[in-house]
């Protein structure tokens, strides 16, 4: 009997493969970084062929490390960096150029043009997304407009467009062209209410329908790996974008459950069930996953700079030599000494969406030390996350949804001081699970459900276990006062780099 699921976790800076057993525990893992290309300021690119070579390499390495063969696998699940765009020739399988990464800003001008033409509300109404260069649709348009011959090839039906999940499935299977609803919902081309590619949006962005992958559920058998790839054919049974997969891996399967991933940035998702909640606070409405044809929706908010502020303390200010030292430095003082740090190094995400905001430190005195700045840096992550949850609570209050705890994962979730402060500011418990590989675990769960490796969502809920629970210890008046001070500091960072 096959006893394992292989999850492929294709991220922004590395490709990973993790083998899970029936308890959801990690049996083996392998990881390999790949090249980041920055051809011009604001441009970020990946070599799609290198993405495939690193992903296929770690897939083999993880199996070898676990002493397993392909025949020991029940299924493969895929999770991926979202919004990154690959366009390739349908017959040769060769990309027409480098992949344009989600961080890339080259299409900001096109977004400004569409906004000036009054298209932002239409796009938000259909897709649940802000009109921003972050998403995939304008990147596809750019490739068709700037790669010689690309548009003619696309109109002749010779090109495939896909997010990274589609590219991996194509390579794994030798030609299958599919995606899932969670990834489709990040493209600016998919109507999240109708559940399909939208002809009006395709016309608006001038993207031929023939390029698009078939949209499938997040958990079903799409096909099998090619015969010569692993030594035995393995079903591919799960696909979800990384943040949606992490939400599934955290077993946030009921309405009102929320998770926050603390990485370079933060991504918070709140399960809103069958209702696509329209945010009044510029949060994103997205497909969390689709199972058996039924879509589950989520509200999502992003913090652009979270773990990156710790890297800045290390590399920019030299306050610490290693990121792991930040907790000790920050807790060497009882509080931030009145210092508030707004890490708007690349602007602000939700609920502000201010690309002209810049990093700001206020409240400095002669008594301020590096420890105070370090503490303010950690607190900034918690404050930004608290604003997201506050917005989510307000957006869903009319429907009676209440968040009773926040499940956390990612590297920053291991920082006890920051997690305690997060609970204090939120006023709800912050809960860290024993298995923190939640992104890959979510992909594994989706694949396992598709082949009967796990029977149902109740079984998955039972597998989720608490490592530590952080209870709020700060009075609500004090917490609200601290949050209001934070918002005053944010206002001082707003529009700083705006021309004129």
Q: Give me the mean pLDDT over the 359-382 stretch.
A: 95
- The H or E element containing residue 59 is helix 48-66
pLDDT for 134 equals 85
- The pLDDT, as a whole number, for residue 89 is 96
Using CA atoms, how far apart are residues 352 and 282, in angstroms rounded to an integer?
7
- Does the structure show a pLDDT above 90 at 93? yes
- pLDDT tens-place string over residues 165-180: 999 999 999 999 999 9
Total-model pTM? 0.90
Q: Which parts are annotated binding residues?
A: 12-14, 16, 82-83, 134, 242-243, 264, 307, 311, 411, 415
pLDDT tens by residue, 237-283: 999 999 999 999 999 999 999 999 988 888 999 999 999 999 988 99
| Closest by CA position to 96, among listed 146, 165, 156, 170 | 146
**How many angstroms separate the CA atoms of 500 and 98, rounded?**
35
Give residue 435's pLDDT.
86
Confidence of residue 1 (pLDDT cuts 50, 70, 90): low
> Which parts are annotated binding residues for glycerol?
82-83, 134, 242-243
How many other C-beta atoms lie within 10 A of the C-beta of residue 315? 11
pLDDT beyond 70 at 400: no
Compute φ and ψ for 208, nearest 5 degrees.
Answer: -65, 135
Give me the pLDDT at residue 396, please.
87
Please compute the mean of the pLDDT values over residues 73-84 and round it to a whole number: 95
pLDDT tier at 2, thresholds 50, 70, 90:
low
**Mean pLDDT across the chain:** 93
Q: ∠ at Cα 367 (362, 368), nearest 5°?
A: 45
β-pair type (266-273, 99-100): unpaired
Yes or no: say if 78 and 165 are a contact pair by the CB < 8 Å rule.
yes
Write out pLDDT tens, residues 279-316: 988 999 999 999 998 999 999 998 888 888 898 999 99
User: Which pair of tokens denotes residue 373?
Assistant: 């700045």
Annotated binding site for ADP: 12, 16, 264, 307, 411, 415
- Taking each helix axis from N to C end, the angle separating 370-396 and 476-493, rounded to the nearest 10 degrees, works out to 100
d(CA 429, CA 404): 7
399 pLDDT above the threshold of 90: no
The predicted model gives 207-233 an average pLDDT of 95
What 3-state class would DSSP assign to 468? strand
- Say if residue 364's pLDDT is above 70: yes
Helix (H, G, I), strand (E, B) or coil at 475: coil
Q: Which domains are assigned to the chain?
A: 4-242 (3.30.420.40)
Residue 106: predicted pLDDT: 85
The pair phi, psi for residue 304, each rounded to 5°, is: -70, -35
The pLDDT of residue 397 = 77
Average of pLDDT values for 446-454?
A: 96
Q: Give the pLDDT score at 25.
A: 92
The long-range contacts involving 197-203, CB below 8 angstroms and separated by at least 24 positions, are: 198/126, 200/122, 200/126, 201/123, 201/126, 201/127, 201/137
Q: What pLDDT was estimated at residue 373?
A: 96
Count the residues in the chain.
500
């Amino acid at each position: 009997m096959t006893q394992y699921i292989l999850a492929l976790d294709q991220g922004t800076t590395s490709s990973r493969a993790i083998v899970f057993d029936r308890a959801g525990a990690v049996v083996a893992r392998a990881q390999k970084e790949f090249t980041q290309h920055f051809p011009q300021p604001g441009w970020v690119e990946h070599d799609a062929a290198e993405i495939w070579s690193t992903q296929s390499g770690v897939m083999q390495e993880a199996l070898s490390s676990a002493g397993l063969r392909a025949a020991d696998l029940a299924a493969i699940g895929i999770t991926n960096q979202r919004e990154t765009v690959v366009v390739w020739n349908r017959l040769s399988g060769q990309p027409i150029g480098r992949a344009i990464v989600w961080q890339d800003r080259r299409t900001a001008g096109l977004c400004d043009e569409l906004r000036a033409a009054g298209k932002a509300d239409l796009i938000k109404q259909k897709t649940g997304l802000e009109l921003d260069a972050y998403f995939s649709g304008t990147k596809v348009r750019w490739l068709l407009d700037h790669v010689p011959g690309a548009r003619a090839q696309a109109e002749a039906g010779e090109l495939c467009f896909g997010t990274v999940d589609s590219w991996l499935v194509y390579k794994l299977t030798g030609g299958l062209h599919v995606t899932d609803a969670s990834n489709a919902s990040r493209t600016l081309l998919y109507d999240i209410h109708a559940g399909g590619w939208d002809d009006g949006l395709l016309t608006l962005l001038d993207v031929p329908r023939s390029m698009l992958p078939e949209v499938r559920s997040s958990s079903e058998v799409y096909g099998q790996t090619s015969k010569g790839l692993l030594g035995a054919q393995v079903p591919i049974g799960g696909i979800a974008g990384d943040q949606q997969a992490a939400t599934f891996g955290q077993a946030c399967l009921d309405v009102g459950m929320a998770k926050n991933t603390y990485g370079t940035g933060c991504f918070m998702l709140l399960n809103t069930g069958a209702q696509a909640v329209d945010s009044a606070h510029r949060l994103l409405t997205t497909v969390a996953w689709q199972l058996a044809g039924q879509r589950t929706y989520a509200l999502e908010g992003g913090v652009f700079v979270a773990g990156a502020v710790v890297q800045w303390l290390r590399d920019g200010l030299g306050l610490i030599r290693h990121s792991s030292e930040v907790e000790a430095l920050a807790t060497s003082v009882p509080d931030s000494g009145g210092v508030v740090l707004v890490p708007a190094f690349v602007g602000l995400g939700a609920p502000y969406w201010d690309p002209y905001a810049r990093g700001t430190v206020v409240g400095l005195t002669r008594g301020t030390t590096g420890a105070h700045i370090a503490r303010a840096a950690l607190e900034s992550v918690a404050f930004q996350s608290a604003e997201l949850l506050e917005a989510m609570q307000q957006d869903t209050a009319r429907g009676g949804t209440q968040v009773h705890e926040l499940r956390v994962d990612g590297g920053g979730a291991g920082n006890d001081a920051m997690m305690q402060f997060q609970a204090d500011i939120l006023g709800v418990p912050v809960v860290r699970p024993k298995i923190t590989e939640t992104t890959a675990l979510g992909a594994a769960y989706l694949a396992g459900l598709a082949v009967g490796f796990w029977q149902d969502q109740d079984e998955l809920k039972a597998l989720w276990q608490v490592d530590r629970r952080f209870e709020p210890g700060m009075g609500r008046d004090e917490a609200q006062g601290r949050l209001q001070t934070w918002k005053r500091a944010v206002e001082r960072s707003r529009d700083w780099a705006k021309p004129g």
